[in-house]
Amino acid sequence: MLFGLKRYLVPNPIIPILIVFLATLVIYCVLGNAFKRKPLFSLRPTLTFNYRPTDWGASEYLAALTAFNILLLVYVACFIKLGFDLPKYYRWLLLAWTCLCTLALISMYYNVTTKYARFSSVLNISAGLATACFAIFTAPLVDSSITDLTGVNADKFPAAQKTLNLVAVIYCWSLIGMIVTMFVFLFIGFHTLFKTTSNTRASTLSVVALVGIAYTFVIYLNAFSELSRDLSNKRIKVLLVYSSFHVSPDKCGLVNQPANSKVALLDDDKAVIALPDPTQTYTFKRVACSVPGSDREG
């Protein structure tokens, strides 16, 4: 995982299973009570649908869209299990769309925008301080990774330091976002079970929000795990070469080097060359290099 942060987070696969189970239990209880008072369909005198969107507001439409997206996710998952293929891009697009609809529903139903406005100054200052703390915390880990990979002091690669530190801060904020999503799920679950009024519409909106945030948390957890796997040493090497290795080997008089090799210039006619490797992405070694009139920063 990224820069040795794995020891700070070990995702437990039982969490999403418990969340889905609890969400299903809540749906069963709430919808069972709702349909006892007013069945979904009426058979007399003919088959009719008892619920009409004539007086719906934005929250109701968002709830319906969220419920439809979740149902679509279930069908897509079933078809994939049956062997049908769906491009990964469309899968992530559907997941992201479901999360956005859920967050919009929660924001509107719980009036999050107004509540945020009351504490916006404190929250913005806290976010700024947290970002600064993350940058300070991750900087030594970034420097250690660069030094371990190249065998050169990380200060020789200022561009790589900035790039990788930015990635590390984004990673930390992604972790915070996952934790916040979990607490939002717990809050909505508590509100649905103990605070929801007897109003059927309010109960339905609350249940849809609960199921939506449960799916959002599971999606977020999987996306975070995917990000953690992607930000391995191989990806760090790619970012390192992209940010600081900009000179072709022939500029240093290095011939017969593999294609896509790149050089980062150091002081005192020294350099580090990044050699493509089929198993490790890149390997690094120090070489002699003199480029007249060039900057010595990689």
Tell me: the pLDDT tens digits for 133-158? 999 999 999 999 899 888 888 888 89
Please provide the average confidence, as pLDDT, over all residues in the chain.
Answer: 79
22 and 71 both lie in a single domain: yes
Per-residue pLDDT at 172? 92
Contact 3, 145 (CB under 8 A): yes
Q: Taking the model in full, what pTM does it have?
A: 0.72
Would you say residue 241 lies in a domain? no
Domains held by the chain: number: 2
Helix orientation angle between 200-230 and 88-109, rounded to the nearest 10 degrees = 140
Q: Which of 5-19, 69-83, 117-131, 157-171 has the lowest mean pLDDT?
A: 5-19
Q: Which of 73-87, 116-130, 276-290 has the lowest mean pLDDT?
A: 73-87
Query: How far is it, in rounded angstroms, from Cα 257 to Cα 273?
Result: 10
Q: Which of 34-43, 119-128, 248-257 has the lowest mean pLDDT?
A: 34-43
118 and 259 both lie in a single domain: no
Per-residue pLDDT at 286? 87
170 and 141 both lie in a single domain: yes
Query: How far is it, in rounded angstroms, from Cα 146 to Cα 3?
Result: 9
CA 134, 140, 143, 147: dihedral to nearest 10 degrees?
A: -150
Q: Residue 266: which domain range?
A: 246-298
For 69-107, b where at least 16 C-beta lie within 10 A, e where not — what string? bbeebeebeeeeeeeeeeeeeeeeebbeebbebbbbbbb
Q: Which of 20-29, 195-204, 227-236, 260-269 has the lowest mean pLDDT?
A: 20-29
Number of other residues whose CB lies within 10 A of the CB of residue 232: 12
116 and 212 both lie in a single domain: yes
Q: Which of 40-54, 167-181, 245-259 has the lowest mean pLDDT?
A: 40-54
Q: Which of 216, 235, 254 is the last residue of a domain?
A: 235
Per-residue pLDDT at 22? 63
Most confident of 122-136, 184-198, 269-283: 122-136
250 and 228 both lie in a single domain: no
226 and 98 both lie in a single domain: yes
User: Cα dist. 28→38, 162, 208 in Å?
Assistant: 15, 50, 12
Residue 60 pLDDT exceeds 80: yes
Tens-digit pLDDT profile for residues 239-290: 999 998 888 888 887 777 888 888 888 877 788 888 888 887 888 888 887 7
Would you say residue 49 lies in a domain? no
Contact 228, 235 (CB under 8 A): no
Per-residue pLDDT at 85? 80
Q: Which of 208, 235, 262 is the last residue of a domain?
A: 235
Distance of CA 89 to the CA centre of its chain: 15
93 and 168 both lie in a single domain: yes
Residue 5 pLDDT exceeds 70: no
Would you say residue 254 lies in a domain? yes
